[in-house]
Structures are given as C-alpha cells and as structure tokens.
Structure 1
Amino acid sequence: MTTATISSTTPRLGEIARSLADRSEEWLHRVRLSADGRWYERLHHDDDHEVWLISWLPGQSTGFHDHGESEGAFTVVLGSLEERAPGRTRTVDSGDSWAFGRDYVHDVRNVTDAPAVSVHVYSPPLSTMRRFEETPDGLVEVAVEQTEDW
C-alpha cells in the first residue's frame, strides 16, 4: 500500500479496504456496470467509517475532488485504475491499494479497455466533497457536494 498522507487512521483504512477486497465472494454478486456513469453502492456505514463498492467502465472517472474532512483508501479488485493528483499520475492495478489523508485532491479513472472494480473506505464517513476543474493555472474549486447529493 502506498500512502499520500500518513496519520493513525490512514493505514487502518487501507487494511479495511484490502481485507474486504480479499473477500469478494461476500459482495461480487452486487456489482453492476452502468454506461451512464460509475456505479456505486455503500456496503457499510457506522460512526467510524464507511465502505463503498465502485465499478468503472472504460473512460469513466471521478474528476478532481477531495473528501472533505475524511481520510480514505481504496483497493482495486478487478482491472486497473489511474490515479492523478496535481503533479503526478500512478497506476493502481488489481490487488494494489492507495491511501490518503484529509485535503488530498485526486482524479481516479479507468483508462483501460476493460471494466474495473474497487473498494473505497472513508473515515469519518463522507459528509462533503469539493469538486475541482483543471485549468492552465492549476485546480480551481467549482462545487461543494453534500452527502445528500450522492
């Protein structure tokens, strides 16, 4: 697992994501593919953290965003995803994880020609996300989404 920002919570979130990814028999039957956009379903929610399952068709992406006051981690279960943060791009392959702290801005996308599936964990559970647009001068905040927007 690679971490963008280390805190006491961040490595634990990566462990939760990897543990659930390793038990795909518990949730694989729930995965759907949608040509209209990424498909996602929340698998778990409590006061400490939440877990989301996301499927990605080729070309689907999140756009640049952060996770508000939450830290996070994701593990790719099937396929490969590209994770872009300002100034760097990395590939997260099946079985690999990426963890990040608060205020981390990134864009996750499927740049392959095959579907991908990933497990995402956030703590505390998401309450807001800021959306950004990439401009020649850098990222510019364009919107703030609240939980009820998802």
Structure 2
Amino acid sequence: MSVSPSASPAVSSPGSTPGSASGSSSVSSAVSAPTQADLFDFVRRTAADTELIASLPLDPEGRTWVRLDGPGGSEAWLIGWPPGTGTGWHDHADSVGAFLTASGELTENSLAARLPTDGWKTLELTDDVDRERRLPSGEGRAFGRHHVHEVLNESPDRHAISVHAYYPPLPQIRRFSRSGSILRLEQVERPEDWQ
C-alpha cells in the first residue's frame, strides 16, 4: 500500500482569547469546540507569557512538561526539550492541535498524506510526502486530525520550550517507526500511559 500527498490545513489566528471556546459571541447555550485557529491563538498567547515559560523546570537529559488549562476543554502542555531530543514519529488520532516554539528552535518533520486510520501495520510512502519546518521562537503551526509528524530539538547545546494544545483531549497517540519510505505502526498509547 502506498500513500500519496494531500493538502495541509491552513493556519489562521483570529482574535479569540485564551480560555474562550470559539472566540465568537454566539447566543447558543452550547459551547463550541475550539478550532485549530483557537488552539493556535492559545499557544501563541501562552508562549508570550515569559514568566510561565521561565517557570518550567528543565532537565539536561529528558523532556519535561507541565499540564496547562487549554481553551474550551482542550488538553494543553508546556514542554521542555533538551538538546538532541525528539518525539519520534506519531499522530494524535482524532484530535486537532497546534504548537508553537516559545524559546529555542524546533524542527517538525511531517507527512503531507492522509494515512488509513485502521487496519494496517506497514505502509510504503511515496517520495513526495515529506515536509520539514524550522520553527524558531515565536513560530508554530496548527494541524488536523491524524497528522503524522515528529518534533525535534536539533540544537547541540540549547534547550527549547514549546506550548501544545489538542482538542478533543488526546484519546490516543499512535507511534510509528520509519525506515526510508516504510512507515510501521509500533504502538498505540492511551492517556494513562503519559499522564
């Protein structure tokens, strides 16, 4: 099975405030779920909170994280990245998300392809699906459901810190290994595995 490229979602950043569900003044009594744009606005504003960013304890060897209150019931995290660390290839299942580098620089490698959600263990990727983004301090991105990526701090000597938000709160994370064009599903993690 091979996977072909697909369009990547656009990132926009409307004027909603952190903690608001949708940034709109709807008369409806039901609160809307936060959108990718709402999540991006939240991570952008949170990353600008220098006191919060400076409060994250950093470990010289492993990533550190603190859970945050995200908008509209979303799951949010402040994450510290020692030099040379990364996530490995993964997705966030049915959650949409956003992240932004608050200090340092991160690299995101991603696949511009929709993967099947179930029923596979190994896929052969086509040559044109790889994307790389350098995300220095103040830059980030939003992404849609089933977005497959890895995030890395490639600096040899400097920590990076980032803010992440997901909605709905992460139901699972699928972890992958990659060898050339072959992507293999290795593990499915549930919230109790990382909280």
TM-score (norm 2): 0.70
Gaps in structure 2 of 5+ consecutive residues? 1-6, 12-33, 112-129
Aligned pairs for 1:14-29 (under 5 A) are 14-25=40-51, 27-29=52-54
C-alpha separation in 1, matches of 2:47 and 2:70 = 17
Q: Contact 1:6 / 1:101 at 8 angstroms: preserved in 2? A: no
Shift of 1:47: 6.2
> Secondary structure in 2 aligned to 1:114?
coil
Q: 1:126 aligns with which of 146, 150, 170?
A: 170
Q: CA RMSD in A?
A: 2.0
C-alpha separation in 1, matches of 2:136 and 2:69 = 24
C-alpha separation in 2, matches of 1:89 and 1:6 = 16
Shift of 1:44: 1.6
Q: Contact 1:47 / 1:125 at 8 angstroms: preserved in 2? A: no
Shift of 1:21: 1.0
Q: What is aligned with 1:67?
A: 92
Q: Contact 2:100 / 2:162 at 8 angstroms: preserved in 1? A: yes
> Secondary structure in 1 aligned to 2:89?
coil
Q: What is aligned with 1:51?
A: 76
Q: 2:64 aligns with which of 36, 39, 47?
A: 39
Letter in 2 for 1:16: F
> Secondary structure in 2 aligned to 1:60?
coil
Counting aligned pairs with the same residue, the percent is 40
Q: What is aligned with 2:188?
A: 144
Larger Rg: 2
Deviations 1:105-145 (A, max 9, x none): 00000001311000001111112000000023321110000
Q: Which runs of 4+ in 1 moved over 6 A?
A: none
Letter in 1 for 2:165: V
TM-score (norm 1): 0.89
Letter in 1 for 2:134: T
| 1:5 lines up with 2:49 in the alignment | no
Gaps in structure 1 of 5+ consecutive residues? none
Shift of 1:29: 4.5
Most deviating of 44-53 and 123-132: 44-53
Q: 1:47 to 1:22 in 2, by over 3 A?
A: closer
Letter in 2 for 1:121: A
Structure with greater proportional strand content: 1
